[in-house]
Structure 1
């Protein structure tokens, strides 16, 4: 036997996984909800997925349209691969031929009064006939225009609300915000309000986001959440909240398989920590991150590379010339490589992809190359830092080792990074160019490691066909990090193969 409390807590799923997550399961049954957004934001697509989710559960679904024709609705559904013939009842409130019928045009009375009453009557009649449990009314703009005054409009919405309560139907009202956008009449009447927004950046695809503005008696995930409209419908990516994810894991020290690099790092990198590889272009930031990823695969673990800046074919060829065959590792299934287009992918969708890899794929090593590309997906630096904070904290709590690269401006001397996230990372690996004995050389040092001790020395390294070779500490030089060091000792501590 079902109790009244169980009925109250029962939810009508929207059929959109991410949106149901934000709404804590879906829409409360037997209530009226408002879905608002400007034209093109995806209201109709969300509404159709909501009705189809009900039809799959054996519920009766009804779509009442005042703006689009039934033919337009079915054509729009077909573009997503949906056949609405058996799934959803569609009622076109004002057929186009009636608009041209002289018998329906009033001359002595206000036509809006009669049309509003007739529209309401038709809505109630079709509901009596179909007896739906899920209803969509599209859109409120037409009802608002027919009502003409705010008072009549509010009375009409209240009448619709109380009418549907008798049928215990879950109602979704669509509003395209084309008339009286400041009118909050339905906001006060509705049980919940969901807003869809579309943003157009200076370059790249449009960005869409959803926000739950109100949900009576229900805890929900607040703030903005990115979403996209694809061929198979709407996909919502709930904002990542790291505090919701806690899991126990065994803290281990991961080796890079290069003894000198491990010595610099005090033994290696710990699981559940994040590492930032910082340096100018061409110093080998990507290579170091790949070294840790390949070492993870060699241990039998899984790793994921998210490449923002480089075309994959060029990356494969470049790494192969250094002794790392990424394609062969990818073929084993233990190395996932994704090309990320910053102009097309929103930050929320990227976080969702990373989370899926870690949760579903069992991946324990994550490489983000680079943060410069990630910043292009989110021009607002403050928001970028908040996104990175939540993503890194989440990955740490899942026991993953994360490696990020940041390209600094300049080549030698004082250099600046486009965004400072050094305080977020647990370990910071600094790469530099310096001049010595008539050659441009490279140096590596560890300037921060929260999880343990590390060498305070600076070591030279070389990149060749065998990958990375790291030398002894540069104890005989002063000013290496400035780019033009002074030789203080006797003999040369530089890598012998580089000495003329």
Structure 2
């Protein structure tokens, strides 16, 4: 029987066993509930497929779907139901379907419920399975017609299954009475599935373990998706559970003036936030660190929410930064994300996978504005970002996150304040001087050491970023319209005087 000697039955659902601390406790009855379309049948099939793969006998008792429908559903996920899985299609006896033979002195439900229970027991006795799925309780609830009879029937099923040593998964589509918690008090554990419909974008699914007797589990909501191959669950990240040992050395950007502004560079295992209006060059500053990482022999992962990859490749290639070639050489992983189709949990899992499997030591998230679009609430965004940044820091990964502020000059506001989460905050600004729109950069915060308190002008040229000396002759640069207070202030000039060579 393979795994039957173990105390837990693996569900076969990616991520769910982690939430359940190893799976479902054997010889107990569990409830999987959710409205139609949340993925109950798919999870149930994966649960039985996992058992069959481990040499266990499995039984799927269906009261609502036909065997052909179940096999079609499995085929849509690329599954072939194993021979070790017996599908028992429970249909009413012919006498109950014949109007001439219907009983008139007794309630029909008395006969139907008794016959249904008897057929379930007979099917079980014939196969003696290790894993059982009963789909669905709504049919039994309708046959019982009262809460008391329904509770007695579920208790009878529970006592019967407990004597056999089988692990049982009861499915409930919650179509009869959402307030009826009869089964919750009887079963050993409850997994609740939800489907949410945002105002724009695809549906979002999440699950929560609401009960698990005698077992600690990962609480709260966890995002999941139904994809080809089955259900994949993304366990909620808890950074405190992950820590790796690494040397906290200082990493340089490759631009001398920028490293001076940073007080020597960025410490390994820290997070950096680049904030400023659109077009100031936030992405280019992050890519400078990606280039430096590749030159050190490290790998990087870039997650783009806002920009089309073809445009990014072409404009950076013009600055002697060939991201496309880096990708072909396996030096970086770059991925364009659609916030309307992506849940926060799935995004977090993608980042974790790149750090674990690709060994990315530098991670770029561009931008929080796009990430926020996938979040229903700002507070949830901050919590997700907090856990993700803490996790990456503990892995020795350097994280660079961008935030686009509203407006271009003057009083600007951020869509969400995540400055307190980052270890280093770099502020980018436009300012007007001598009849031209110029750019300035300053380091506002650095937890890991000293940094310059100056403001430096920078230019985006054909060879990339060029930084100048501190702007000591101007006052009010961060407000956008500075006042000249010095005797003479050196400003950067374009490669061709009078032309804007910014990309």
Name the TM-score class by shorter chain: over 0.9
Tell me which residue corresponds to 1:398. 395
TM-score by length of 2: 0.96
One of 447, 456, 459 as aligned partner of 1:450: 447
User: Deviation of residue 96 (structure 1)?
Assistant: 9.5
Correspondent of 2:327 among 315, 325, 330: 330
Equivalent position to 1:145, from 142, 155, 164:
142
What corresponds to 1:340 in structure 2? 337
Q: 1:427 aligns with which of 421, 424, 427?
A: 424
Question: Are the equivalent residues in 2 in contact too, given 1:247–1:397 (CA < 8 A)?
Answer: yes
Counterpart Cα distance in 1 of 2:413 and 2:376 = 17
Q: Which runs of 5+ in 2 are unaligned?
A: 499-503
- Partner SS for 1:73: helix
Aligned to 1:443, the other structure's residue is in SS state strand
Distance (Å, rounded) in 2 between the aligned partners of 1:421 and 1:97: 66
In 1, Cα distance between equivalents of 2:491 and 2:96: 87
Does residue 285 of structure 1 match 2:277?
A: no
Structure 1 position 379, deviation (Å) = 3.1
Q: Is the 8 A contact 1:475 1:493 kept in 2?
A: no
CA distance 1:104–1:343, change in 2 (3 Å): farther
Q: 1:97 to 1:309 in 2, by over 3 A?
A: farther
Q: Which residue of 2 aligns with 1:495?
A: 492
Q: Where in structure 2 are the equivalents of 1:14-53 lying within 5 Å? A: 14-53=11-50
Secondary structure in 1 matching 2:195: strand
Q: 1:8·1:28 contact (CA, 8 Å) conserved in 2? A: no
8 Å CA contact 2:95, 2:102 repeated in 1:
no
Q: Cα 1:457–1:428, aligned 2, differ >3 Å: closer, same or farther?
A: same
Q: Distance in 2 between matches of 1:19 and 1:317?
A: 41
SS in 2 for 1:128: helix
Which structure 2 residues correspond to residues 204-223 of structure 1 after superposition, within 5 A? 204-223=201-220
| Count of aligned residue pairs for this structure pair | 496
Partner residue of 1:386 out of 375, 383, 386: 383
Cα displacement (A) at 1:467: 0.5
Deviation at 1:8, TM superposition (A): 9.2
* Residue matched to 1:301: 298
For 1:243-392, what aligned pairs fall within 5 Å after superposition? 243-392=240-389
| Aligned partner of 1:462 among 459, 462, 465 | 459
> 1:102, CA displacement in angstroms?
3.6
Q: Distance in 2 between matches of 1:452 and 1:33?
A: 53
Asked if the contact 2:444–2:453 (Cα under 8 Å) also holds between the matched residues in 1, the reply is yes
Distance in 1 separating the partners of 2:33 and 2:460: 56
1:331, distance to aligned residue in structure 2 (A): 1.3
Contact 1:442 1:461 in 2 (8 A): yes
Q: Which residue of 2 aligns with 1:113?
A: 110
Between the aligned partners of 2:438 and 2:82, the Cα distance in structure 1 is: 70
User: 2:461, 2:494 within 8 Å by CA — same for their partners in 1?
Assistant: no
Give the drift of 1:101.
3.4
Deviation at 1:445, TM superposition (A): 0.3
**C-alpha separation between the residues in 2 aligned to 1:268 and 1:99?**
80
Q: Is the deviation greater in 404-413 or in 8-17?
A: 8-17
Change (3 A) 1:96 1:128: closer
How much is the aligned-residue C-alpha RMSD, in angstroms? 1.6
The equivalent residue for 1:486 is 483
What is the CA–CA distance in structure 2 between the aligned matches of 1:254 and 1:46, rounded to whole Å? 46
Q: Secondary structure at the match of 1:432?
A: strand
Assess, with a 3 A threshold, how the Cα gap between structure 1 residues 496 and 74 changes in structure 2: closer, same or farther.
closer
Counterpart in 2 of 1:91? Answer: 88
Aligned equivalents of 1:252 and 1:65: distance in 2? 60
Structure 1 segments unaligned to the other structure (5+ residues): none
8 A contact 2:92–2:116 mirrored in 1: no
Q: How does the TM-score come out when normalised to structure 1? A: 0.97
Q: Is the 8 A contact 1:308 1:373 kept in 2?
A: yes
Q: 2 CA distance for matches of 1:497 and 1:431?
A: 19
Aligned to 1:123: 120
Instruction: Determine the structure 1 residue equivalent to 2:51.
Output: 54
> The residue matched to 1:177 in structure 2 has which SS?
coil
Q: Is the 8 A contact 2:67 2:89 kept in 1?
A: yes
Give the conservation status (yes or no) of the 8 Å contact 1:473–1:493.
Answer: no
In the alignment, the residues of structure 1 paired with residue 215 and residue 300 of structure 2 have an alpha-carbon distance, to the nearest angstrom, of 39
Separation in 1, partners of 2:375, 2:469: 40
